[in-house]
């Protein structure tokens, strides 16, 4: 996509963060605080997360985290984002395989000279998608690109969209480094895999589903890249379990 390539996507995270992946990177546009205690690389405890995000007295109460995230509140810590992102998978309306409408976005991003109407239609489409899928990393990335062209790169809306991508990444990268099954990124939808690859400017050449010890993984074999990475691992167990439940398996 023309405009996707025109953005320096890897600015969202430093090169070191690709390998360490223990905290959110910093930038002049982002003022996210680190969590008071670092979250170690491990599988999310969905039972504990569900309890926390459904407790009204908890600082991780989901409706409040959603409100703050939608407002691009940069006082949200990496820990808050951890509970918000993975807490989404514990919600009654969690649907990791819902269909997305890319038509307006694709038109704006691939057109040789997109006009204001193209960007406005893309923005409307993205905003509508995020109402039912608020943690979709790829759509938040698209939102940043579309807002940048519609409102300007330094506008409050564009900076807010940028911060939302970084905040979501702070949650995912707290679970691993993506370099092996044991340290795979835990994602709550397959589309988030592609969002993460987009952010790092990585292109997949083949995708394989691997089952091991009750866990499900997507292994993305990558095209040649500046990091020298041959593949990236994503733990998709929670979304696979949701699909099996949907079909009564």
- Report the alpha-carbon distance of residue 228 to residue 169 in Å, rounded: 21
Question: For 171-187, what is the mean pLDDT?
Answer: 93
Instruction: Return the exposure string of 107-136: e unless at least 16 CB atoms fall within 10 Å of the residue's CB, then b.
Output: ebbeeeebeeebbebbbebbeebbeebbbb
What pLDDT score does 27 carry?
37
pLDDT at 34 over 70: no
Between residues 201 and 84, the one the model is more confident about? 84
Q: pLDDT tens digits, residue range 110-136?
A: 888 999 999 999 999 999 999 999 999
| Least confident span in 17-21, 161-165, 208-212, 245-249 | 17-21
| Domain ranges, ordered by start, for the chain | 2-246
User: Which residues of 89-203 form beta strands (DSSP E)?
Assistant: 185-186
What pLDDT score does 203 carry?
93
Q: pLDDT tens digits, residue range 234-245?
A: 999 999 998 877
pLDDT at 37 over 60: no
User: Which residues of the chain form beta strands (DSSP E)?
Assistant: 185-186, 204-212, 215-222, 231-235
Q: How many helices (H) and strands (E) does the chain have?
A: 11, 4
| Least confident span in 19-28, 38-47, 102-111 | 19-28
> What are the C-alpha distances in Å from 121 to residues 60, 102, 126, 189, 218?
34, 11, 9, 25, 33
What pLDDT score does 249 carry?
61
Question: For 131-148, what is the mean pLDDT?
Answer: 94
pLDDT at 16 over 70: no
Question: For 14-36, what is the mean pLDDT?
Answer: 37
Q: pLDDT tens digits, residue range 75-120?
A: 999 999 999 999 999 999 999 888 778 888 888 888 889 999 999 9
């Amino acid at each position: 996509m023309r405009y996707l390539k025109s953005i320096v996507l890897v600015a969202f995270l430093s090169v070191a963060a690709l390998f360490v992946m223990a905290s959110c990177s910093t930038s002049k546009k982002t003022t996210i605080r680190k969590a008071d205690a670092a979250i170690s690389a491990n599988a999310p405890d969905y039972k504990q997360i569900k309890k926390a995000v459904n407790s009204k007295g908890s600082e991780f109460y989901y409706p409040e985290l959603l409100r703050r995230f939608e407002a691009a509140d940069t006082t949200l810590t990496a820990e808050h984002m951890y509970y918000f992102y993975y807490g989404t998978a514990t919600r009654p309306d969690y649907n990791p395989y819902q269909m997305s409408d890319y038509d307006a976005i694709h038109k704006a991003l691939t057109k040789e000279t997109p006009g204001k109407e193209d960007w406005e239609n893309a923005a409307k489409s993205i905003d509508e998608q995020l109402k039912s899928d608020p943690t979709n990393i790829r759509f938040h990335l698209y939102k940043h690109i579309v807002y940048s062209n519609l409102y300007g790169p330094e506008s409050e809306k564009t900076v807010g969209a940028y911060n939302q991508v970084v905040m979501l990444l702070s949650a995912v990268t707290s679970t691993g480094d993506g370099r092996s099954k044991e340290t795979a990124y835990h994602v709550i939808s397959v589309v988030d895999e592609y969002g993460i690859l987009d952010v790092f400017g990585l292109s997949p050449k083949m995708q394989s589903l691997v089952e091991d010890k009750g866990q499900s993984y997507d292994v993305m074999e990558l095209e040649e890249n500046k990091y020298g990475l041959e593949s990236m691992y994503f733990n998709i167990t929670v979304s696979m379990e949701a699909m099996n439940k949907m079909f009564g398996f």
